[in-house]
Amino acid sequence: MRFKFKGLAVAAMSLTLALTAAGCGDSDSGSGGGETDKNITIGMMPGWPEGEAATQLWKRLLTDKGYDVEIKSIDAGPLYAGMSKGDIDLFLDAWLPGTHEDYWKQYGDKLEKVSAWYDSAPLTITVPAYSPLKSLEDLKGKGDQYDGKIIGIEKSSGLYRVSKNDMLPAYDLKDEYTITTSSSVAMLTELDKAINAKEDIIVTLWRPHWAYSKYELRDLEDPKGAMGKPDGIYTVAREGFSEDQQDVTGWLKKFKLTDEQLGSLEDLMENKHKGKPDQAVDEWLKANPEYAQSMTG
pLDDT per residue rounded down to tens, the chain (297 residues): 343 433 434 344 443 434 344 444 443 433 344 445 899 999 999 889 999 999 999 999 999 999 999 999 999 999 999 999 999 999 999 999 999 999 999 999 999 999 999 999 999 999 999 999 999 999 999 999 999 999 999 998 999 999 999 999 999 999 999 999 999 999 999 999 999 999 999 999 999 998 998 899 999 999 999 999 999 999 999 999 999 999 999 999 999 999 889 989 998 998 899 999 999 999 999 999 999 999 998
Integer Cα distance of 211 and 128 in angstroms: 11
What pTM was estimated for this model as a whole?
0.77
Who's near 111: CB < 8 A, 6+ residues apart?
A: 80, 83, 84, 104, 236, 237, 238, 239
- The enclosing domain of 207 has a CATH number of 3.40.190.100
Q: Are residues 116 and 142 in the same domain?
A: no
Give the other-Cβ count within 10 Å of 33's Cβ: 14
Q: Are residues 205 and 239 in the same domain?
A: no
Q: Are residues 130 and 178 in the same domain?
A: yes
With respect to residue 197, please indicate whether it lies within any of the assigned structural domains. Answer: yes
With respect to residue 24, please indicate whether it lies within any of the assigned structural domains. Answer: no
With respect to residue 7, please indicate whether it lies within any of the assigned structural domains. Answer: no
Give me the DSSP letters along 141-205. T-GGGGTTEEB---TTSHHHHHIIIIIHHHTT-TTT-EE--S-HHHHHHHHHHHHHTT----EEE
Angle at which helices 49-64 and 246-253 cross, to 10°? 130
With respect to residue 133, please indicate whether it lies within any of the assigned structural domains. Answer: yes
Q: Are residues 141 and 188 in the same domain?
A: yes
Alpha carbon 220 to chain centroid distance? 25
Query: 259 lies in which domain range?
Result: 39-121+231-296
Q: What is the pLDDT of residue 36?
A: 58
Domains: count for the chain? 2
Q: Are residues 115 and 235 in the same domain?
A: yes
